Amino acid sequence: MPNTTIKTEILIHDLKVPISVIDAGAKSLLNRQDSYGPLTEKQIKVLKRIIRNTLTTQRLVNDVLELGRSREGVMITSDFSVSSLVMSVLVEIFDLSDPPVADIIRKLESYAGLEQVLNTVGFRLGFDRKMWKTIVHLDAAKVKQVLRNLVTNAFKHRACVVEISGRIEEKQMILKVRDDGRGIPPANHQRIFETYFTTGGSIESAIESHGLGLAGVMVLLKDMGGGLILTSDDGKGAEFTVTIPL
């Protein structure tokens, strides 16, 4: 089994090169029309879809590799601010759903400015200013993957609003992600953390639902000594509370 796992991870790692080639080719056609010829509106739309899905695939490959490193006990810790963590997650999410918003977030320097922009797209922040500027020493890639998975799920399931908040308490970083969507019945609270389980019945809802991402979240948190609490009920939205020791 270990040999099979290693071979699979080597294969996944090797996917990074062809994915990068596809991404570079699509961007060249889109951005260098003076060299490659003009594009129709429909062709531009298709190329942008290719680039978005290439970005999604790149992140999935990186996530799988990070889970592999986590399983082997590999921790790469560094100092980073809570603000940089949250903003990088938001940029990655809006890169796929609303690129102009992602570009605006990249240029923001103030918490108030970020709040103002996010309010227009259904996001709410709940960090005190001291927490926002706090420097933590953790495995940034793992923490980022955890938060991105939770925020992505909340974004997909929201009715109107996603709330992201956090605090530092008793040498622990506590992050909360809440949506106002359809919620999760108590009977499914444990099952949604199982690999491939989703709350929908069709292929389409499986792709856009809670599934492998939450199983991965639990693996990463366990390896960091953290935990996750789900608070939800049918029709009442869902709140995920992450605790990671500093």
Could you please report the per-residue DSSP string of 154-182?
A: HHHH-SS-EEEEEEEETTEEEEEEEE-SS
Q: At residue 184, does pLDDT exceed 50? A: yes
Identify residue 133 by its one-letter amino acid code. Answer: K
Identify residue 119 by its one-letter amino acid code. Answer: N
User: On the CB side of 43, how many CA atoms lie within 13 Å of its CA?
Assistant: 11
- Radius of gyration for the alpha carbons in the chain, expressed in angstroms and rounded: 19
Q: How far apart are CA 117 and CA 99, in angstroms?
A: 13
Q: What mean pLDDT do residues 159-175 have?
A: 95
- Confidence (pLDDT) at 96: 83
**Angle CA(225)–CA(231)–CA(237) in degrees, nearest 5?**
130
- Confidence (pLDDT) at 207: 36
Q: At residue 144, does pLDDT exceed 80? A: yes
pLDDT tens, position by position, 96-122 = 889 899 999 999 999 999 999 999 999
Q: At residue 217, does pLDDT exceed 50? A: yes
pLDDT tens, position by position, 46-89 = 898 888 888 878 777 777 777 777 667 778 899 999 999 999 99
Closest C-alpha among 230, 196, 189 to residue 213? 196
pTM, to two decimals? 0.76
Q: At residue 22, does pLDDT exceed 80? A: yes
Q: At residue 197, does pLDDT exceed 50? A: no
- Confidence (pLDDT) at 206: 35
Query: What are the helix (H) ranges across the chain?
Result: 2-14, 16-31, 33-36, 41-71, 82-97, 99-107, 111-119, 129-133, 140-157, 203-207, 212-223
Closest C-alpha among 141, 117, 133, 144 to residue 83? 133
Of 93-97, 202-206, 209-213, give the lowest mean pLDDT range: 202-206
